[in-house]
Amino acid sequence: MAADLGRAGARRAGRRRRLPFSPWHLLLMPVALLFTLPLVQMVLTSFMDDAEINKFPPRFIPSALHLTGYTKLFTQAPALRWLLNTIIVALVSVTAHLILCSLAGYGFARLRFFGRNVGFVIVIATVMIPIQLLMVPTYILFSRLGLIDTIAAAFVPWLASAFGIFLMRQFFLSLPAELEDAARIDGCGTFGVFWRVILPLAKPALATLTIFTLLGSWNDLIWPLIAISDQRSYTIQLGLATFQGTRHTQWSLLMSGNVVATMPLIVAFLLLQRQFVATMTFSGLKG
Amino acid sequence: MSAAPTRPAGSTAAPARRRAAPRLLMAGRVAPPQVARRRPVARRVLGRSLTGWAFVGPATVLVVGLSIFPAVWAFLISRQRWNGISRPRDVGWRNYRTLVTDSDLRAAVRHTIVFTALFVPGSVLLGLLLAIALNQRIRLTGFYRTCIFVPYVASAAATGILANFVFNPQFGIANAALRAAHLPEQQFLEGRSEALVMLCVIALWGELGFTVVIFLAALQDIPFDVVEAALVDGARRRHVFRYVTVPHLAPVTVFTTVWQTITALQLFDLVFTTTKGGPLGATQTIVYYVYAQAFQVAKFGYASTVAYGLFGVTLVITLGLLGYARRARIEAF
C-alpha cells in the first residue's frame, strides 16, 4: 500500500517538483534530530568537566576528553555497586519472568483443570489496578516480609506479571495441539511435554518477554524509591534520582551517571532492534 | 490402576498402547483420555488440578499477591488514620469526606487532567503522523525509526535529569538556541505557567516511539489487495485514506488512547526527577500527591483514600472508552 501511494504521489508531484527528495524528509529529518540530539548532548557533556559545562554560552562539543564525571561517579558514590544491583535485579527479574510466566501461560493455554478460567480472568483483571493504589500496602507488606532496604524489594514486583502470562498464553494457544499428543504418546509427562517439546518452540515469545521485563525492571524507579533508603541497596535509577536532589549542580557527574544508566539498554536496542520493535508491537496490537 | 476392573485388557494395555500409537495419532486427540479413563474420576480431576495449579500457581500467587491483595488492603487502610508506625485508628469515611474538600488534591487532579488532555491527543496524533511518514517508500526510514524510538528505551529518571540540563534557564542549550534565534528566553520547568506543558513535551519525547511503532505496524498490516481494489475502482489517495486506512486503524487508535490515558494518569517518575511537584505545586500530579502524602508526611490512610479516588476515575474512563468502542463496533482487544 505504501509503495503504491508513494509512487502515485511521486508521479503526480513530478511535474511541479522542486525538491530533489521527498517532502516527507522535511518532517522526518528535524524530528529525528530532535529525538537524538539530547542523547548525543548527554554523551558529549559527560566528557566535559564542570568548569566547561558552566561556561557561557554553552558548548556542545567537549574541548578535550575529560573523565572527571566518571571518576567522581565511581569514587564519590557507590555507583559501581548500584550498577551491579541493577544488573542483579534485571537478571533475577528476567529469569523469574521467563520461568514463571511460561509455566503459567502454558497451564492457562493448554491444561484443563479446576478453576483455570476464573484464575486467568483474575490475573488479567489485575492490570486494571493502578500503581498508586499499591504503593502504601506494598510498602507495608515489604516491611513485614523484611524486604525493606534489600535489593529484593526492587525485583520482587518484577518476578511475574499479568502481561507476561497473557503473552505466553497467547503464544501457546497458537501452537498446534498435535505436537503435544505426539510427545505424550511417546511417553512424556505433562512437564516433559512442556519442557522438551513446547518451550523450545517458544523462543520468539521468550525473547519478547525478556525485552519487556528488562526494560521494566532496569528502568523502574518507584518500587526502589519507596522501599530502599540504604545507599548500598540502591539501583542505578534510584541513585540518579537522589543525585538529582543532592548534587544538582554537578552536571558532569549527573550526565556520566545518565550515560551509565541508559547506554546498556540503548546498545542492546541498537543490536536487537527488530526484537524490540516486535515487543512493542505485540503489547500494542494484542495487549 | 487396580480400581479399573471394567477394562479386562487394562493390566496389559501399556505395551499394546505403545504399538497402537501411530494409529491413534492419526485419529486425532483420542489417546490421552483413553489412558486417563482407567483411573477413578475424582482422582483424575484432582490429579489434573494439581498439575494445572503446579503450572499456573506460582505466577498467579505472585501477581495476585502483589496486586489484588494489596488493593483490598489499601481499602481497609483508606478508612484509617495511620502514620505507618503507631497503631492505626479506624476513622470510618472521614478520609473520604476530606477528599472532597482537599484543595491541594483538586489542584493535583486539575494538573493531571491538563497533562492527560495534552499528552494523549499529542501522542496519538503525532504518533499517527510520524507512522504515516515512516510508511512512505522513501530513503532512510529505518534510520528515522531508530532515532524516534531510542528515547523510549531511556528511563524516566534519566530522561528527567537530561531535561533538567537541556532546559536549564541559565545555561541550557534550549535557551541558547532561543537566544541565537533572537527569541525571548523561557523559564521552562522553573516557570509556573510553563512547567506542566514542558513535562508534557518531555513525556512525549520519551513515549512517542511507542505509538509510532504501533501505528506503523498497523499501517503495514493493511492488505495490499484492498488498497489495489480501491484504486482500481477509481479512488483517489484521500479516499483510500478515508475509507481504507482510517477504519483499519480504528482498533489500534482505541488501544493507544486507552493505554496512553492510563500512562498519563499515572505520571510520576518524570515529576519526581524534574520539578518534584513545583514550582509552587504547579506540577503536582495525583500519583505524586499520593506519594507525598504517604512517604513525606506519613499519612498512610489518607494517601490510600486519594489512590482509591483516582482508581474510581480511571475505571470509569477506561470502561467508558471501551463501551464507546464496543458501541462503535471497534474490536480493540
User: pLDDT class for B17, splitting at 50, 70, 90?
Assistant: very low
* A281 in a structural domain: yes
Q: What does the mean pLDDT of chain B come to?
A: 81
Q: Which of A228-232, B15-19, B77-81 has the lowest mean pLDDT?
A: B15-19
Average pLDDT, integer, range B75-81? 87
Query: Roughly what angle, to the nearest 10 degrees, separates helices B141-153 and B103-134?
Result: 160
The answer to whether residues B171 and B268 belong to one domain is yes
Q: pTM (2 decimals)?
A: 0.81
The domain tally of chain A equals 1
| Model pLDDT for residues A181-235, shown as the tens digit of each residue | 888 888 888 888 888 888 888 888 888 888 889 989 999 999 999 999 888 889 9
* A201 in a structural domain: yes
| Model pLDDT for residues B258-286, shown as the tens digit of each residue | 888 888 888 898 999 888 887 888 889 98
Q: Which residue has the higher pLDDT, B328 or B194?
A: B194
Instruction: Chain B: give the shortest CA distance to residue A15, in Å.
Output: 18
- Cell reading at A148: 525493606
What is the SS3 assignment for B298?
coil
Residue with cell 518534584: B276
The answer to whether residues B132 and B191 belong to one domain is yes
CATH number at residue B261: 1.10.3720.10
Q: Which of B35-39, B49-53, B54-58, B323-327 has the lowest mean pLDDT?
A: B35-39
Instruction: Please list, in sequence order, all residues whose beta carbon lies within 8 angstroms of the beta carbon of residue A237, skipping any fewer than 6 positions away.
Output: A86, A218, A219, A220, A221, A224, A261, B155, B157, B158
**ipTM of predicted complex:** 0.84
* B86 in a structural domain: no
Residue with cell 556542545: A60
Return the amino acid letter for B152: Y
Q: Which of A53-67, B129-143, B228-242 has the lowest mean pLDDT?
A: A53-67
Give the pLDDT confidence score for residue B199 in this predicted structure. 93
| Cα–Cα distance measured from residue B218 to residue B231, given in angstroms and rounded to the nearest whole number | 20
Q: How far is CA A196 from CA A110, A145, A190, A191, B55, in A?
A: 15, 36, 10, 8, 15
The answer to whether residues B18 and B150 belong to one domain is no
The answer to whether residues B222 and B308 belong to one domain is yes
The answer to whether residues B178 and B38 belong to one domain is no
Q: Which of A17-26, A84-93, A218-227 has the lowest mean pLDDT?
A: A17-26
Give the pLDDT confidence score for residue A105 in this predicted structure. 92
The answer to whether residues B151 and B26 belong to one domain is no
* B81 in a structural domain: no
| B136/A5 CB distance under 8 A | yes
| B66/A138 CB distance under 8 A | yes
* Residues in B touching A251 (Cβ below 8 Å): 165
Contact B105/B99 with Cβ under 8 angstroms?
A: yes
Q: What percent of chain A has pLDDT over 70?
A: 91
Give the pLDDT confidence score for residue B169 in this predicted structure. 83
Q: How far is CA B274 from CA A26, B28, B113, B188, in A?
A: 32, 61, 19, 11
The answer to whether residues B44 and B113 belong to one domain is no
Of A45, A53, A244, the CB nearest to B273: A244
* B297 in a structural domain: yes
Return the amino acid letter for A239: G
Find the domain containing B151 and state its range: 94-327
User: pLDDT class for A284, splitting at 50, 70, 90?
Assistant: low
| Cα–Cα distance measured from residue B10 to residue B5, given in angstroms and rounded to the nearest whole number | 8
Return the amino acid letter for A259: V
| Model pLDDT for residues A95-114, shown as the tens digit of each residue | 999 999 999 999 999 888 88
* A243 in a structural domain: yes
Q: What does the mean pLDDT of chain A come to?
A: 84
* A43 in a structural domain: no
CB pairs under 8 A between A and B: 347
| A122/B60 CB distance under 8 A | yes
Type and span of the H or E element at B81:
strand B80-81
* Residues in B touching A265 (Cβ below 8 Å): 153-154
Q: Which of A37-51, B4-18, B231-245, B281-295 has the lowest mean pLDDT?
A: B4-18
Instruction: Chain A: give the shortest CA distance to residue B97, in Å.
Output: 18
The answer to whether residues B303 and B249 belong to one domain is yes
* B71 in a structural domain: no
| A116/B217 CB distance under 8 A | no
pLDDT at B333 over 50: no
Q: How far is CA A122 from CA A99, A116, A168, in A?
A: 20, 10, 16
pLDDT at A4 over 60: no
Instruction: Evaluate the CA torsion angle B22, B28, B34, B36 in order and state its sign.
Output: positive
The answer to whether residues B116 and B234 belong to one domain is yes
User: pLDDT class for A17, splitting at 50, 70, 90?
Assistant: low
* A46 in a structural domain: no
Candidates B46, B56, B266, B291, partner chain A, best to mutate (most A CBs within 10 A) = B56
Closest alpha carbon within chain A to B134 = A28
* B76 in a structural domain: no
* Residues in B touching A138 (Cβ below 8 Å): 66, 70
pLDDT at A47 over 60: yes
- Cell reading at B316: 470509569
Average pLDDT, integer, range B140-163? 90
* B2 in a structural domain: no
Give the pLDDT confidence score for residue B28 in this predicted structure. 43
Type and span of the H or E element at B89:
strand B89-90
| A284/B213 CB distance under 8 A | yes
Type and span of the H or E element at B80:
strand B80-81
| B48/A237 CB distance under 8 A | no
What is the SS3 assignment for B275?
coil
| A39/B164 CB distance under 8 A | no
| B140/A114 CB distance under 8 A | no
The domain tally of chain B equals 2
* A231 in a structural domain: yes
Find the domain containing A127 and state its range: 80-285
HEC string of chain A equals CHHHHHHHHHHHHHHHCCCCCCCHHHHHHHHHHHHHHHHHHHHHHHCCCHHHHCCCCCCCCCCCCCCHHHHHHHHHCCHHHHHHHHHHHHHHHHHHHHHHHHHHHHHHHHCCCCCHHHHHHHHHHHHHCCHHHHHHHHHHHHHHCCCCCCCHHHHHHHCCCHHHHHHHHHHHHCCCCHHHHHHHHCCCCHHHHHHHHHHHHHHHHHHHHHHHHHHHHHHCCHHHHHHCCCHHHCCHHHHHHHHHHHCCCCHHHHHHHHHHHHHHHHHHHHHCHHHHHHHHHHHHHCC
| Cα–Cα distance measured from residue B322 to residue B333, given in angstroms and rounded to the nearest whole number | 10
Closest alpha carbon within chain B to A194 = B55
Give the pLDDT confidence score for residue A248 in this predicted structure. 66
Average pLDDT, integer, range B231-237? 85
| Cα–Cα distance measured from residue B303 to residue B82, given in angstroms and rounded to the nearest whole number | 10
Give the pLDDT confidence score for residue B25 in this predicted structure. 42
| Cα–Cα distance measured from residue A45 to residue A38, given in angstroms and rounded to the nearest whole number | 10
* B212 in a structural domain: yes
User: pLDDT class for B60, splitting at 50, 70, 90?
Assistant: very high
Of A41, A238, A280, the CB nearest to B210: A280
Give the pLDDT confidence score for residue B64 in this predicted structure. 93
| A103/B173 CB distance under 8 A | no
| Model pLDDT for residues B291-321, shown as the tens digit of each residue | 999 898 888 989 999 988 878 877 887 788 7
Contact B95/B328 with Cβ under 8 angstroms?
A: no
* A19 in a structural domain: no
Give the pLDDT confidence score for residue A165 in this predicted structure. 92
* A47 in a structural domain: no
pLDDT at A236 over 80: yes
* B62 in a structural domain: no
| Cα–Cα distance measured from residue B273 to residue A237, given in angstroms and rounded to the nearest whole number | 10
